[in-house]
Amino acid sequence: MEGEPTLRLRIFNLNCWAIRYLSKRRQQRVRLIGDTLRQEGFDLVLLQEVWSEQDYSELKAKLAGSYPFSHYFRSGVIGSGLCVFSRFPILDMLLYQYSLNGYPYMLQHGDWFCGKSVALVVMKISGIIFNVYVTHLHAEYCRDKDAYLPHRLVQAWELAQFIRHTSKAADVVLLGGDLNMHPEDVGIRLLRGWTGLQDAFAEAMRFEGCKNGCTLVPDNCFTDKSELLPFPLGIRIDYILYKAISSFTVKCEELKTTTGRAPGTDIPFSDHEAVMATLHIQRQGQPAGATLGTPDPALADVVAEARAEVGAGLRAARRQRYSSGRMAVLALLLLLLQAAAALATLAGLGAEQPFPKLSFCLLAFLALGVLVLATGLHLFHTMEVKMLHGTEDQMWMVLRALQERPSEG
């Protein structure tokens, strides 16, 4: 209805790249982010990769006057890196840590230690219930040979399921974050198709910023240029997505991205560009009922494609589980042989020990180390197999329901 008042909401989303001791000019950039947020006066701020609680505390103190409500979400060894600042009261919150998030032995990537999660905050603004989600999915380190694709698809599926099952009482759903997926990737298509979320960039009436809305661009001085060689304009992996439920409509009036250096400085906020959206929320004349919408007919193909990728990851995880289990058994057998030889020597049943004692002890310690490491890997890959298998089963049930639905009509 034209007579209904319109709520205007300004949202700021940024992957801050604030890794303690590793990120370049981290403290200077965090101060710059805080100064800019205080000046701009957004309604809602969604941040990722704020790994240091000290950085969050400094931001909270600086922004207390402009954003009196905030929360830092803790998980994993290092933390989730997720935090929210808001002009409006936070009524409730929840954190869900993804069941799969890379490999503990891939130390050079480190995602496993971060506890990647999706955070939910519930707010009531002008009588409208908002479910606001912020997340950060596993990074894509090699597009041609993406070993983490099955894990990222599991995360995208769990994110979609989490939103579907926690947003039924909401009027408006907002999602911001670094999804580490291109707009055409199967994970994004799965997330949007299963939740009905709309892409603010695609729906915006006005756009200003990097070409094609890219948020990782070669012009940024902190960006690894080698990763973007196949993409001379950059890539778009940071998003603001939204959806109206019940009797409301949401329109994106304007979407902006930063374009390298922050105003008045010689450095950007981060290696990622910030995404800023202005949304208009208005009540309709007649309630539409709390619904997540009718799935797109093409969704069945997207779910099937995602399930095939998860299935490939499941087969790889089973092979790794078998290899680590076999290594553990061999190490155990070697330890048992050494123990038998040592007991025989002590009992006087054999000749002198065939190996020097030092070599014998070193071999025993090596076998013990291999046994412990291989057993740990076997347990990890066993859990990985279970999570991948469970996701594949869920997708199969959804796929079957989607395929049967047209015939029911």
Sequence-separated (6 or more) residues with CB below 8 Å from residue 319: none
CB atoms within 10 A of CB 305: 14
Q: Give me the sign of the Cα torsion angle 180, 183, 184, 190.
A: positive
Positive or negative CA dihedral for 142, 145, 148, 154? positive
Query: Token digits for 316?
Result: 């790889």
Of the listed 272, 280, 378, 389, which one is catalytic? 272
Q: Which residues pair with 277 in a beta bridge?
A: 11, 255
**Secondary-structure percent of the chain, ordered helix, strand, coil, rounded to 5:** 40, 25, 35
Token pair belonging to 86: 């808001």
| The residue type at 2 | E
Which residues, 6+ apart, have CB-to-CB distance to 150 below 8 Å? 100, 309, 310, 312, 313, 314, 316, 317, 388
* Catalytic residue status for 280: no
Q: What is the DSSP string of 33-81?
A: HHHHHHHH--SEEEEEEE--HHHHHHHHHHHTTT--EEEEE--SSS---
Catalytic residue set:
272
